[in-house]
Chains A and B, each alone.
Chain A
């Protein structure tokens, strides 16, 4: 292993590799920042280019793109309130309010530092703890996925703590939308109103663009102002170091969120979209000032952005140890490995240790290089968005929403779905429904439904098939977590009262 490592080091520190990583980072940042172009798409688009490369070079390039894409999603989340990828949904909650206050640049820096931190933690886990962690993935069967989805839904109670009823109604709307199309189990056609185009259901990214982007653009136009409201960016002295210090002070949040990201990444079928919201929820619960979340508080950005980049390393863990992709972009990496004649799995570490160690180290390097590349791109993008008059910005955003929703499945139906959901989202927003819970329902609906039906089928051999949900220890852990999470607003109130009494 040591020998393989030293060779890997030599291979990495060449101009060619470093330039390739930087090119990959730029490409990834841009695709990530455009809503609709996801990490999976970016990686898949570049697969043909890797044919002409050695497997190592190909993996290095794709790894850099993947890492940067997840990070780049935060740019649009902060600047125009639209997550660039589903991994940045939670970043809109605090990033955009910061941008509205003229602190967009600071928000981007926070996202950058947190992303680099999370990325590094994920890669460290990948490097040192792959085999034991991979076995966690196998412990998760259908009943656990069902309970995980239930736990995910309970997050709404802290996401929408101001109006829990509206939050859960929003979650319900999301769950309902997720049932459109072919049933994941059984294959029945549901709620397509006889349009064969709707068999594919509502793609998460299409809904994200509709619910986040369109209402924002409509509000922008409705305000009839010449300049975007972020215009008066405050000049802040010592912004780089000051923000870095501020972020690094929050070690607890950084570490907790990165570990959440790594674990969620390891679980096949759940990725950054789940991780960032779970991390956000846990950050609120651990915070002494939970009321600040959602008002432009840097802890929110730290939680989401460190967790989603930790997913990258986490998702590769089951890929290289078991041959099972952890997150959707890893499925593409899996295909690339196969096409290059490498079988993903434990033998990668024995017969192709050279390639795999170089790849892991390159991810590390890409994460670190993301710092300068991200700061340059982020500031440039920030200035452009802030200076652009609304009469250009709003149409540009609408134009990008159309491109983005079309490109995800190369399907014009998705553009119409996006526009319909956009108008719906605008109305719901005016009625006080936040898009966060709705998208949470959309993400978790299929996971929960699949887990539920599969588990019930699994239970047919038991005397009572419903027992399948309650006879496994890991299920109970998730049940208890859900119960605590659901009642958290109440518990938090009690605790706060208790403290006050003691102080007196």
Chain B
């Protein structure tokens, strides 16, 4: 009896103390957790690390990066849908992953619409790349070579991914037969190219920026040239209608209050205009983007239509 009364008293005190704190305090007043759904040291980690300090300065609270990897990001994103929607836990998100996974898997654990993106801060276009000492010097050379050797291997990161779908899309517009070989991450595909185990890579601009003396980028799958690769033409310049790549952003759980989302959106935007952030990102080959919450929604909508058609063409849409 006595102890149960004590418990009730204790509970009342706890609830009493915590209510005004949550109700009245200004967001944020405690550390924010920034969840990365991939391995430490990967590109999603690196971009988050670049943002970490500016975000802490802008928000005035610590930003803690944790990793919830698995299932190509799906384990983390399905967790997102079950996270408390108070804005203190934000998730790094990637496109096309959050669009393609629910379309191809029977149960990815989340729906694309549940990933409430507040900001997309960068775009990493695909590049077609070969070894630096390769006899292939231009996209034209590559096409000639691929026509002579149908089914040549093109390595890339993940499947289905921007790299794998991009390889299919490019093969279609250039009328080629290519064999896509998936590796676990962009970095893992590089030794396969350097060792001559694959002929080319459909990878991201970041790889050409990281290995300038080993990799030759033939073309960039973007609307405009990448700052880190000024000498590399876009596929559009060469007459191929092929734009493909991955976006990175940050999302909050469904049901997060609009005023909290606003604070986070503005903080992400402000961090994205920080000159040191821009310099670091662009040096690494990322292309800065400034999609606020509304524009992010449009982007996802637009790409959902695009990928649905592409996956249907490839026969990868789930039944």
CB distance from A65 to the nearest CB of B (A): 13
- Closest 7 A-B residue pairs measured CB to CB? A200-B70, A196-B109, A199-B71, A141-B197, A331-B41, A44-B40, A138-B195
Bound together, the chains give a CA A268 to CA B42 distance in angstroms of 15
CB distance from A375 to the nearest CB of B (A): 31
CB distance from B38 to the nearest CB of A (A): 11
Which residues, 165 to 204 on B, are CB-close (under 8 Å) to A? 179-184, 187-188, 190-192, 194-198
Interface contact A51-B53, CB-CB below 8 Å: yes
Interface contact B45-A268, CB-CB below 8 Å: no
Which residues, 13 to 63 on B, are CB-close (under 8 Å) to A? 35, 39-42, 45-46, 49-50, 52-53
Which residues, 333 to 351 on A, are CB-close (under 8 Å) to B? 333-335, 338-339, 341, 343-347
Q: Is A237 an interface residue (CB 8 A)?
A: no
Bound together, the chains give a CA A138 to CA B109 distance in angstroms of 38
Interchain CB contact (< 8 A) of B70 among A199, A334, A339: A199
Q: Is B292 an interface residue (CB 8 A)?
A: no
Given contacts A40-B40, A181-B71, A185-B182, contact A196 B198 (CB under 8 A): no
Q: Is A325 an interface residue (CB 8 A)?
A: yes
CB distance from A447 to the nearest CB of B (A): 10
6 contacts between A and B (CB under 8 A): A181-B71, A196-B74, A199-B75, A203-B70, A331-B41, A460-B179
Q: Is A444 an interface residue (CB 8 A)?
A: no
CB distance from A487 to the nearest CB of B (A): 30
Interface contact A141-B195, CB-CB below 8 Å: yes
Q: How large is the interface on A (under 10, 10 to 19, 20 to 34, 35 or more residues)?
A: 35 or more
Chain A residues near B198: list those with CB within 8 A: 458
Q: Is A445 an interface residue (CB 8 A)?
A: no
Bound together, the chains give a CA A79 to CA B186 distance in angstroms of 40
Q: Is B112 an interface residue (CB 8 A)?
A: no
Chain A residues near B182: list those with CB within 8 A: 184-187, 454
Interface contact B191-A409, CB-CB below 8 Å: no
Comparing B134-142, B153-161, B239-247, B298-306, the segment that makes contact with chain A is B153-161
CB distance from B129 to the nearest CB of A (A): 14
Interface contact A201-B192, CB-CB below 8 Å: no
Q: Is A156 an interface residue (CB 8 A)?
A: no
Chain B residues near A196: list those with CB within 8 A: 71, 74-75, 78, 107-110
Bound together, the chains give a CA A105 to CA B68 distance in angstroms of 37
Interchain CB contact (< 8 A) of A338 among B52, B149, B153, B284: B284
Other contacts beyond A324-B187, A450-B184: 18, CB < 8 A: A40-B40, A48-B49, A48-B65, A51-B52, A137-B195, A141-B192, A141-B195, A142-B197, A189-B106, A196-B108, A197-B78, A199-B71, A323-B190, A335-B41, A339-B280, A450-B183, A458-B179, A461-B150
CB distance from B47 to the nearest CB of A (A): 10
Chain A residues near B40: list those with CB within 8 A: 40-41, 43-44, 47, 331-332, 335
Interchain CB contact (< 8 A) of B152 among A200, A203, A338, A461: A461
Chain B residues near A268: list those with CB within 8 A: 188, 191
Q: Which residue of B lies closest to A187 (CB)?
A: B159
Interface string of A404-427 (1 = CB under 8 A from B): 000001110100000000000000
Chain A residues near B75: list those with CB within 8 A: 196-197, 199-200, 409, 411, 413
Bound together, the chains give a CA A155 to CA B3 distance in angstroms of 59
Chain A residues near B214: list those with CB within 8 A: 322-323, 345
Chain B residues near A347: list those with CB within 8 A: 213
Residues of B near any A CB (own CB < 8 A): 35, 39-42, 45-46, 49-50, 52-53, 65-72, 74-75, 78-79, 104-110, 149-153, 158-160, 179-184, 187-188, 190-192, 194-198, 210-211, 213-214, 280, 283-284
Interface contact A194-B107, CB-CB below 8 Å: yes
Interface contact A458-B197, CB-CB below 8 Å: yes
Interface contact B211-A200, CB-CB below 8 Å: no
Q: Is A139 an interface residue (CB 8 A)?
A: yes
Chain A residues near B159: list those with CB within 8 A: 185-187
Q: Is A467 an interface residue (CB 8 A)?
A: no
Q: Is A169 an interface residue (CB 8 A)?
A: no
Bound together, the chains give a CA A325 to CA B191 distance in angstroms of 10
Bound together, the chains give a CA A335 to CA B149 distance in angstroms of 37
Chain B residues near A411: list those with CB within 8 A: 68, 70, 75, 79
Q: Which of A51, A200, A450, A458 has the most CB of B within 10 A?
A: A200
Chain B residues near A331: list those with CB within 8 A: 39-42, 187
Interchain CB contact (< 8 A) of A138 among B50, B68, B79, B191: B191
Q: Which residue of B lies closest to A47 (CB)?
A: B49
Q: Which residue of A lies closest to B105 (CB)?
A: A189
Interface contact B66-A460, CB-CB below 8 Å: no
Interface contact A335-B45, CB-CB below 8 Å: yes
Q: Which residue of A lies closest to B212 (CB)?
A: A343
Interchain CB contact (< 8 A) of A187 among B39, B45, B72, B150: B72
Q: Which of A51, A199, A268 has the most CB of B within 10 A?
A: A199
